[in-house]
Structure 1
Amino acid sequence: MSSQKMLDRIRHDKRIWAHRVLTKHDQNPFFRVMRSVNAPIVDVEGQQRIMLGSNNYMGLADHPLVVEGARTALDKYGATVTGSRLLNGTIDLHMELEAELADWHGTEAAIVFTTGYQANLGAISALVGVGDTVVVDSGAHASIYDACRLSRANIRAFRHNQVDKLEEKLSRSEGAILVVVDGLYSMHGDLPPLVEIAALCEKYDAALMVDEAHSVAVMGPQLTGVAEMFGIADDVDVRMGCFSKGLGSSGGFVAGSTDIVDAMRCHARTFMFTTAGVPAALGAAQAAIRLARSSEGQERSRRVLGNARYLHDGLAAAGVDVGTESNTPLPDGTEMISAIVPVNIRDDLKAMNIWKEVYDQGIFVSYATFPAVAQGAAMLRVCLQADHTTEQLDRTIDVISKVIAGHGLLRQAEPVSVSV
């Protein structure tokens, strides 16, 4: 590298320095190497560990039907399409998949992107631009904020899940207005007050986009996500989702009206100027969607949410802080425990040390710190799968609670009854 200024900047970057030091001393919670299939037990760097850091919520990543779907597409179309959808990259499998997504979501159309990240970038930047306004929840995913910047629209962030703050921003917005929220927030696993948000969008003539990346295939009567679960799917203009989480494949999509989807076909740069997803991923996604729409999909959804409730209640009973202050209750007033259970530590160094102790005892969870969460909100992110066993969850509760107790961070145990 010829630029000394650039080299100096890299060498004095605190995050890069921390990454190198932590890696050298085997303390880095990131970039750990998986050596087996994504399942409840994974070989991580030579040791079998209970996998509680994966987004494989429905357990479809290694499901025989999903693997067969990938294999069939690979045999028919080869390893890659070698081009963008705009040119030679559209195959009939794309058309079948988009038609099935639209039918599943009850929308006029759908469009498939190579990744979920690109779906958000492409969708938002295709729909708003200079002179318009994007109003976005402060807890929204990084891809949403990057998309807002790419669009060059005015960006107005409102405090996480605070409807009154959203209305303040809407009342001062200009041009075409797009409100963007997550259906399920990926760090704390909490839900937005979506009914109230949709009502405000109607009041201020704003379009509503919901990122269902972590809720599609897991929540809702037909498992299309949180908008459906709250009964307002028809009030959401843009429904984004991923194949790479509950659906056990790779890629992203948007479902909506023909106008919305055509705007993306013609203006979404992340759709127009990138090679289309590999056929195997499309075949796996199609098989996973069909499975999600079956009775087995419903049964897997019940299992993963039951596992989440079991782990959440077990940790809470042991005095572990698994609280989510902003979680929105369901329409019937009950609390939804999603497949993402937060273990709040708050102190960065303590959270990292706790992560390593838990990891060394054979349990893989995710460590989250700023900017993935707010400053001073470091946590362990625990993700459940449909195929986790009660024995695995009991082992996890025991290890996490004892490690946290060793750091003096247990709260008074909550009087909850543990149930599947």
Structure 2
Amino acid sequence: MNTAEDFLKRRLDERQQAGTYRQLKPESSLIDFCSNDYLGFARSAVLKQSIAREVNNHPLSLNGAAGSRLLSGNIQYAEDLEDQIAAYHQSEASLLFNSGYDANLGLLSSLAQRGDTLILDELVHASIIDGARLSYANRYSFRHNDLESLEAKLKLAKGNCYVVIESVYSMDGDTPPVLEIFNLTEKYNAALIIDEAHAVGLYSKGLVCELGLQQRIFARVITFGKALGSHGAIVLGSSNLRNYLINFSRSFIYTTAASFHQLAAIKMAYQLLENSDEAIINLKRNIRLFKEKVNTGETYTLLNSDSSIQCIVLKSNETAREAARQLQTNNLDVRPILSPTVAQGTERIRICLHSFNTENELTLLAATLNKFILLHA
């Protein structure tokens, strides 16, 4: 075995021995308490039909973009879609990216220069961390949602300073004190960037619009693969920011553009979102019902969250895996979140609630959880 293959095998063996080995699994027919399909758009027959009609209405569209947007891959449809999405989220301008990962990577790696400062909440998504690592800026993290910790880092900032948070955190489901964080960044002349991936849907246009801060936030990242049931992402901000990213964001410049079908799916998903008040009401009802029905006792912790993401911290990989196995045995698709994805000692099951989950399904979920917790207290 050559040296490179030996390295691969050794690292994989270490993962297996530690119980942290990752494997792909096929799709499940269990009751969905796992996916990010918060409003049911990914499974929506209405959305599927509207996408098909939109594609059929553009018979000259290509199957693939056949190039980057700066070469042969740009079409007027994409630019019109950017204008429509920017208007929906009440932003001056926007730029499409092929995924949320690409958006965060391209935004953060290109913005902050040597001598600048990036300050990240310690629980931001891996794509934000990776984008920051690719920049030449000074980098700091602050304790999760901790204003004193953030201010201490702001006092150390040099050059242009960018603070990055999420409006709903993907592994805890909680919401930061956005207004207070914005006031701090304004005090220290820092630019605030907010990833809204898990907020759109729970809040139709995102939490920033809900709070009326859309004209004051430097940049927002919106992804389409969660409540919108499609794929891709967009960065919202000023016209200067859009033009800057077109010129300097490597994950935008050096990649083939999204296909027409992907763009059509995004456009139709936004049209459906504009008429989804009932789905959003159902989602918020299901969040409330779940929190009323589940009882974690004194041994385990249900994290404080009013979002679709509800997490019960079970303190070890094995307990989290066993809880997930028990739930799956009862036809409930819930997955464990293990270290090193989360910090050791905070291993958990992550429950995603949806507008389409029935009260009977929620009752079964809570009863199964309550029984497991009672037996393992």
The TM-score normalised by the length of structure 1 is 0.84
- Count matched residues: 374
2-structure distance, mates of 1:159, 1:366:
26
Which one of 172, 192, 197 corresponds to residue 213 of structure 1?
197
1:57 partnered with 2:47: no
Counterpart in the other structure of 1:418: none
Superimposed CA distance per residue, residues 172-197 of structure 1 (whole angstroms, 9 cap, x where no aligned partner):
01111000001100011000111111
Gapped runs of 5+ residues in structure 1? 35-43, 328-335, 410-420
Gapped runs of 5+ residues in structure 2? none
Q: Percent identity?
A: 31
CA contact 1:122–1:147 (8 Å) conserved in 2: yes
RMSD: 2.1
Counterpart in the other structure of 1:361: 330
- Residues 88 and 207 of structure 1: CA distance in aligned 2, closer, same or farther (over 3 Å): same
The residue correspondences of 1:17-416 to structure 2 (distance < 5 A) are: 17-18=15-16, 30-34=23-27, 44=28, 48-75=29-56, 76=58, 77-219=61-203, 223-294=204-275, 297-316=276-295, 321-324=300-303, 337-406=306-375, 408-409=376-377
1:96, CA displacement in angstroms?
A: 2.1
- Residues 200 and 123 of structure 1: CA distance in aligned 2, closer, same or farther (over 3 Å): same
1-structure distance, mates of 2:42, 2:224:
10
CA contact 2:283–2:356 (8 Å) conserved in 1: yes
2:292 maps to a residue whose letter is: D
- Residues 350 and 248 of structure 1: CA distance in aligned 2, closer, same or farther (over 3 Å): same
CA contact 1:307–1:385 (8 Å) conserved in 2: yes
Counterpart in the other structure of 1:40: none
Counterpart in the other structure of 1:331: none
- Residues 229 and 319 of structure 1: CA distance in aligned 2, closer, same or farther (over 3 Å): farther
SS in 1 for 2:280: helix
Counterpart in the other structure of 1:414: none
Superimposed CA distance per residue, residues 297-333 of structure 1 (whole angstroms, 9 cap, x where no aligned partner):
2221111121112112211377784532xx5xxxxxx
- Residues 290 and 16 of structure 1: CA distance in aligned 2, closer, same or farther (over 3 Å): farther
2-structure distance, mates of 1:89, 1:65:
29
Superimposed CA distance per residue, residues 43-99 of structure 1 (whole angstroms, 9 cap, x where no aligned partner):
x2xxx3111110000111122332134324544324311211111111222112101
2-structure distance, mates of 1:321, 1:107:
42
CA contact 2:297–2:373 (8 Å) conserved in 1: no
1:370, CA displacement in angstroms?
A: 2.3
The TM-score normalised by the length of structure 2 is 0.93
Superimposed CA distance per residue, residues 322-351 of structure 1 (whole angstroms, 9 cap, x where no aligned partner):
532xx5xxxxxxxx6111111111111111
1:323 maps to a residue whose letter is: L
CA contact 2:295–2:370 (8 Å) conserved in 1: no
1-structure distance, mates of 2:72, 2:290:
47
In the TM superposition, structure 1's runs of 4+ consecutive aligned residues that sit over 6 Å from their partners are 19-23, 317-320
SS in 2 for 1:299: helix
Counterpart in the other structure of 1:413: none
CA contact 2:96–2:232 (8 Å) conserved in 1: yes
- Residues 281 and 191 of structure 1: CA distance in aligned 2, closer, same or farther (over 3 Å): same
CA contact 1:311–1:397 (8 Å) conserved in 2: yes
- Residues 373 and 272 of structure 1: CA distance in aligned 2, closer, same or farther (over 3 Å): same
CA contact 2:66–2:73 (8 Å) conserved in 1: yes
